[in-house]
Amino acid sequence: MAPMKLYGATLSWNVTRCVAVLEEAGAEYEIVPLDFSTGEHKSPEHLARNPFGQVPALQDGDLYLWESRAICKYVCRKNKPELLKEGDLKESALVDVWLEVEANQYTSALTPILFQCLIRPMLGGATDQKVVEENLEKLKKVLEVYEARLTKSKYLAGDYISVADLSHVSVTLCLAATPYASVFDAYPHVKAWWTDLMARPSAQKVAALMKPPS
Amino acid sequence: MNDQPGRAQKQSGLISMSPVKVFGSAPFTNVARVLLCLEEVGAEYEIVDVDFHAREHKSPDHLARNPFGQVPAFQDGDLMLFESRAICRYILRKHRSTDGANLLREGNLAESAVVDAWLDVEALQYDPAMHAVFVQHRVVTALGGEPDERVIAESVARLRETLDVYEARLTTRGYLAGDEVSLADLSHVPYTRYLLEMPYGPPVFGEFPRVTAWWERLLARPAVRKVVSMMGGGSG
């Protein structure tokens, strides 16, 4: 069976979201880098994989998939279904809830901060501090909810690690590259959850991939 | 009552078959999404209104149901859920035997992944463009302000780009994830309903004949008609 192919640049936290899950699920895969500077993501070849011209895209045999969390779920169903708990009505619902929370509450507050602090400077622009401050406040409110949750269970969906936890790895690693990593310090259970996640080989692999070339 | 012959799922704890509760009212798009699934599977439910004017959504009682103080929240026995698309998945899995369309395509690796992908497109690309227009046109004006036409124009432009892809997709199949309807299609209903009521909506949709035909196919579903009516304050 040919390895799955994950298309996209490892600088993209949506691409490395999938790497965390591919690694954790023990899937055979290879990363195929795409060159945004040459518009490769808008080439006919790539549009055939992802009609929105975005990354990541996944190829598995003759199946093409896109949207990082859809890719993550597919990989789990195929290689490590216990990360989804789909045989159990209640547990799978809680995994779904916290994966939605990651997308709609956590990452939605974090992405503007990452864009201002990491992407804009790369594009030669200036960081809009007002946007950073506004979203830091939103992020803190989200972290308060996480702190309360993680007081009751070891991981977000329960006492079992799931795709919901893993989906946080790439974006949170990016936060660590901004001046705002210490925002976690006020939330001890969140910090402990993150430390535990970071110790996993899958997270270490993502961290290694995201290091900028020296 | 909990043992459905042929169901492969094991259930932790007793799953109640008494009516479930949806906290939040139908005009909220995220609530309407959940109601669509309940109607599609024919589940019994009751709607419990959350009074935003009285800031009930930030009350301790409601925060215990949805820690982000939003709607919907959903209660089934002692299980409390939030985030509309997670609630939808739960409803469809629980009522798999009456979900004639297999709206999640569970059991098929490739098809379920394609449903997931289009559901994420709806959540992360389609909805935000719609939401921006809705906020300017309905919410800002309700609060006494002037809609920001630049924001509206940008959002409509983004929507057009997204609908370009939908139009191409719907050329080769009847629904987004394949030849049969799925949760991905249904999830588009609430915001689309509002968009088509605003002056910006019909001209944009008018540029995409297959998208328009897809929308009309969705409107032909009894569950969709009922929820669309409930969103307007009707009883369905």
A93 touching B (Cβ < 8 Å): yes
Q: Are residues B94 and B118 in the same domain?
A: no
A88 touching B (Cβ < 8 Å): yes
Q: Are residues B141 and B87 in the same domain?
A: no
pLDDT above 70: residue B103: yes
Residue B59 in any domain: the answer is yes
Grade residue B18 by pLDDT with cuts at 50, 70 and 90: confident
Q: Are residues B18 and B83 in the same domain?
A: yes
* pLDDT tens, position by position, A82-97: 999 999 999 999 999 9
- CA-CA distance, A205 to A70, in Å (whole number)? 21
Share of residues in chain B with pLDDT > 90 (%): 83
Q: Can you give B62-92 as a three-state secondary structure string?
A: HHHHCCCCCCCEEEECCEEEECHHHHHHHHH
Q: Using the 3D structure, point to which of B74, B98, B122 is the last residue of a domain.
A: B98
Q: What pLDDT was estimated at residue B11?
A: 44
B120 touching A (Cβ < 8 Å): yes
Grade residue B4 by pLDDT with cuts at 50, 70 and 90: very low
Around Cβ B113, how many Cβ atoms within 10 Å?
25
Mean pLDDT for the stretch of residues B100-105: 95
Closest partner CB to B85 (pick from A77, A78, A100): A100
Q: Which residues of A touch B121 (CB under 8 A)?
A: 52, 67
Q: What pLDDT was estimated at residue B235?
A: 65
Closest partner CB to B120 (pick from A69, A105, A148): A69
B123 touching A (Cβ < 8 Å): yes
B81 touching A (Cβ < 8 Å): yes
Nearest CA among B63, B60, B28, B66 for reference residue B47: B28
Q: How many CB pairs under 8 A join A and B?
A: 96
Q: Which residues of A touch B58 (CB under 8 A)?
A: none
List, by residue range, all CATH 3.40.30.10 domains of chain A. Answer: 4-79
Mean pLDDT for the stretch of residues A54-60: 97
Taking the whole predicted model, whether its pTM rises above 0.90 is answered as: yes
Q: Are residues B120 and B210 in the same domain?
A: yes
* pLDDT tens, position by position, A177-193: 999 999 999 999 999 99
Residue B171 in any domain: the answer is yes
Nearest CA among A105, A89, A155 for reference residue B81: A89
Contact A51 B94 (CB under 8 A): no
Distance of residue B59 Cα from the nearest chain A Cα, in angstroms: 15
Distance of residue B182 Cα from the nearest chain A Cα, in angstroms: 15
B117 touching A (Cβ < 8 Å): yes
Q: What pLDDT was estimated at residue B13?
A: 47
Q: Length of chain A, please?
A: 214
Closest partner CB to B83 (pick from A51, A101, A145): A101
Q: What pLDDT was estimated at residue A36?
A: 85
Distance of residue B229 Cα from the nearest chain A Cα, in angstroms: 27
Angle at A199 between CA A68 and CA A97, to 5 degrees: 40
CATH topology of domain A84-207: Glutathione S-transferase Yfyf (Class Pi); Chain A, domain 2 (1.20.1050)
Contact B79, B87 (CB under 8 A): no
Contact A86 B106 (CB under 8 A): yes
Nearest CA among B56, B112, B116 for reference residue A103: B116
pLDDT above 90: residue B233: no
Residue B151 in any domain: the answer is yes
Q: Using the 3D structure, point to which of B98, B123, B152 is the last residue of a domain.
A: B98
Q: Is B197 exposed, middle or buried (0-12, 13-18, 19+ CB in 10 A)?
A: middle
Phi/psi class of residue A67: alpha, beta or left (left: φ > 0; alpha: ψ in -120 to 50)?
A: left
Distance of residue A184 Cα from the nearest chain B Cα, in angstroms: 19
Element (DSSP H or E) covering residue A211:
none
Instruction: Tell me which amino acid residue A199 is.
Output: A
Strand, coil or helix: A5: strand
CATH number at residue B214: 1.20.1050.10
Q: Using the 3D structure, point to which of B75, B98, B121 is the last residue of a domain.
A: B98
B60 touching A (Cβ < 8 Å): no
pLDDT above 90: residue A214: no
Q: Are residues B121 and B89 in the same domain?
A: no
Contact B86 A78 (CB under 8 A): no
Cβ-based neighbours of B85, under 8 Å, separated by 6 or more: A96, A100, B33, B119, B123, B187
Grade residue B127 by pLDDT with cuts at 50, 70 and 90: very high
- CA-CA distance, A43 to A190, in Å (whole number)? 41
Q: Are residues B92 and B116 in the same domain?
A: no
Q: What pLDDT was estimated at residue B16?
A: 62
Name the residue of chain B whose CA is nearest to A74's CA: B113
Strand, coil or helix: B195: helix
- CA-CA distance, A171 to A165, in Å (whole number)? 12
B110 touching A (Cβ < 8 Å): yes
* pLDDT tens, position by position, A110-146: 999 999 999 999 889 999 999 999 999 999 999 999 9
Residue B233 in any domain: the answer is no
Q: Are residues B45 and B124 in the same domain?
A: no
Residue tagged 């026995």 (tokens) = B77
Q: What pLDDT was estimated at residue B229?
A: 96
Mean pLDDT for the stretch of residues B203-222: 97
List, by residue range, all CATH 1.20.1050.10 domains of chain A. Answer: 84-207
pLDDT above 80: residue B7: no
Distance of residue B94 Cα from the nearest chain A Cα, in angstroms: 7
CATH number at residue B43: 3.40.30.10
Domain enclosing residue B33, as ranges: 5-98
ipTM for the assembly: 0.96
The CATH label, of 3.10.450.50, 3.40.50.970, 3.40.30.10, 3.40.50.2000, for the domain at A4-79 is: 3.40.30.10
Residue B30 in any domain: the answer is yes
Name the residue of chain A whose CA is nearest to B85's CA: A100
Mean pLDDT for the stretch of residues A10-19: 96
pLDDT above 50: residue B12: no
Residue B235 in any domain: the answer is no
pLDDT above 90: residue A210: no
Q: Are residues B201 and B159 in the same domain?
A: yes
Q: What pLDDT was estimated at residue A213?
A: 55
Name the residue of chain B whose CA is nearest to A53's CA: B165
Contact A184, A198 (CB under 8 A): no
Q: Are residues B147 and B44 in the same domain?
A: no
Mean pLDDT for the stretch of residues A60-81: 97
Q: What is the mean pLDDT of chain A?
A: 96
Q: Are residues B67 and B10 in the same domain?
A: yes
Name the residue of chain B whose CA is nearest to A76's CA: B109
* Number of domains forming the structure of chain B: 2
Grade residue B173 by pLDDT with cuts at 50, 70 and 90: very high
Q: Are residues B86 and B137 in the same domain?
A: no
- CA-CA distance, B218 to B216, in Å (whole number)? 5
Q: What pLDDT was estimated at residue A37?
A: 86
Q: Which residues of A touch B124 (CB under 8 A)?
A: 67, 103
- How would you classify the pairing of strands B79-82 and B20-23? unpaired
Residue B42 in any domain: the answer is yes
A211 against B39, higher pLDDT: B39
Around Cβ B61, how many Cβ atoms within 10 Å?
9
* pLDDT tens, position by position, B27-79: 999 999 999 999 999 999 999 999 999 999 999 999 999 999 999 999 999 99
